[in-house]
Chains A and B, each alone.
Chain A
Amino acid sequence: MSALKVLSSPHQHSQKSLSQLMLAVCLATSLGLLAQLYFFGIGVLIQIVLAISTALACEALVLKLRKRPLNTTLKDNSAVLSALLLALCIPPLAPWWVIVIGTFFAIVFVKQLYGGLGANIFNPAMAGYVLLLISFPVQMTSWLPPAELMPIQLSFIDQLSLVFTGSSSAGLSLEQVRSGIDGVTMATPLDTIKTDLSKGLTVSESLAQPIFTSFAGAGWQWVNLGYLIGGLYLIKARLINWHIPVAMLSSLGLCAVVGIMIDPDTSAGPILHLFSGATMLGAFFIATDPVSAATTNKGRLIYGAAIGILVYLIRTYGGYPDAVAFAVLLLNMAVPLIDFYTQPRVYGDTKDS
């Protein structure tokens, strides 16, 4: 019987070993990462270093407690990838303990307590992100304005000290750094629209804000473009299937088109939905996590499309400006059901039996 033992996912068909695959995915984020570095400063890198070192330490600790082989598991780079994805979602100058708590939860609770790589139901990075978002809403929404709109330029030392002590070398707090001279806090594009709508402005009035310089919000559009290109590379290199990202992006875009046709005053257009927030990162790097996503092709289409719809619904009607993490976690729960109903027909079996 043991010869027929079915291994749990990921069952990706690729010549690459697991650790090479994970590393390739990490590298594919580099364009978006560079854009993030350019627009939001070196703080992004500080968060990544913190996240990866925490992840490796936590993984080693749990593996030791579980008496599992240390080296092979640590070298598979899956913890590194989870940590990297989580760090990319964190505001770059968030206090150091935010990312440490988030990574600890992601690795120890969401990944290892469920049995380690391949057995986790939820996407570790996104579960860690949601934990942080509901626990520390202030820190988790303190995004910097993109560099071109930054009132004060921060040096590396400033950013380092903001992350670790909460104030820059000149003694300014993160809140002061973000708001600049006129005291108006800059927010992310999605946040801006949400706030403006609640103030009774229309979307077109909101789009006149300085954060919307070109098609989908300063900085963010380039970050999203970067992840789009990285994601296309992943599909080209056959590291991920096209089903999930295509389904997710098209359903999100479709929802946005319908929304803007019905109510143009309070709906952000499809371009804005597709190129702001975590859309691209989510579609190509997060929703495609081979362990927690659906595993049949039909199932992947359903899974991706449902995520897209949920993202649109939560962004439009929910309390939070962005929704990729919530949508992915909700669909993670539905994966066993989706997989059950979309099992491909066994070769030789008739359709109606």
Chain B
Amino acid sequence: MSNLHADIKELIYQGNWKNNPALVQLLGLCPLLAVTGTVTNALGLAIATLFVLVGSNVTVSLVRNFVPKDIRIPVFVMIIAAFVTIIQLLINAYAYGLYQSLGIFIPLIVTNCAIIGRAEAYASKNTPILSMIDGIMMGLGFGLVLIVLGAMREILGQGTLFDGAHLLLGDWATNLSITLYQVDNAFLLAILPPGAFIGMGLLIAGKNVIDQQIAAKNKTTNTATRAPRARVTSMD
């Protein structure tokens, strides 16, 4: 049992931080950069991707012993496409406004490499339970980046947060929309694709800085116990 616990802990760490699909693996960048203009869109896509990821991971894991190695990729794609179709129809039925604003990026979840990547790298080799947890964690990690990037771009670009949240969450959410500051001139760059790239770069840089600081901290605590090692080779 403790083994499972350790596995889950590792999955949480891997999915959300160490091996984050958006910040480290840089997978699924197309929807990530395209729809994060507002938090609402980002949240919608994050939930959709999470659902598809969990569904496909569990299914792939269940059938992993019956699928011949040679045709596994087409099978995985079919499974993913089935889940994407389900989520597309669901969004179309229950959040039509969001369906319109996400547009082509809902069907394009099929091509999101983060999903097929997890199916191939994890779900096809592990048990359904672990695959499900992996799907949730990877989906969360991806979704978190989506939402943070969406918030950055929405605040910079329009000065609002959760604008249009009622499209996703129903009429009660109209009040969620916060206007942080009023601008006459939207900072268009933040909303346009270049702003997404720059914002993404900043997020990745931020993660690396945090990692470095953690590493530096660990190093300073460890150096006392280690003997100094002579450096014999040099790159420069």
Contacts and interface: CB of A to CB of B under 8 A. Distances in A.
A137 B185 CA distance: 9
A134 B198 contact: no
B232 to A, nearest CB: 15
B192 A109 contact: no
B21 to A, nearest CB: 24
A1 B233 CA distance: 13
A135 B188 contact: yes
Which bucket holds chain A's interface residue count? 10 to 19
A138 interface: yes
A131 B189 contact: yes
Interface of A: 1-2, 5, 101, 109, 131, 134-139
A347 B194 CA distance: 44
Q: Which of B187, B189, B192 has the most CB of A within 10 A?
A: B189
B236 A136 contact: no
A137 B192 CA distance: 13
A2 B185 contact: no
A1 B189 contact: no
Contact of B185 (A1, A131, A134, A139): A139
Given A1-B236, A2-B236, A136 B198 contact: no
B236 A135 contact: no
10 contacts: A1-B236, A2-B236, A101-B187, A109-B198, A131-B189, A134-B188, A134-B194, A135-B188, A136-B188, A139-B185
Contacts of A137: 188
Nearest to A136: B185
Which bucket holds chain B's interface residue count? under 10
A138 B185 contact: yes
B187 A135 contact: yes
Interface of B: 185, 187-190, 192, 194, 198, 236
A101 to B, nearest CB: 8
A135 B198 contact: no
Nearest to B190: A135
A137 B189 CA distance: 11
Contacts of B185: 136, 138-139
A2 B188 CA distance: 46
A112 B198 CA distance: 14
A136 B236 CA distance: 46
Contacts of A5: 236
Contacts of B194: 134
Contacts of B187: 101, 135-136
A282 B222 CA distance: 55
Contacts of A2: 236
Nearest to B189: A135
A134 B236 contact: no
A150 B212 CA distance: 57
A136 B185 CA distance: 7
Contacts of A139: 185
Nearest to B188: A135
Contacts of B189: 131, 134-135
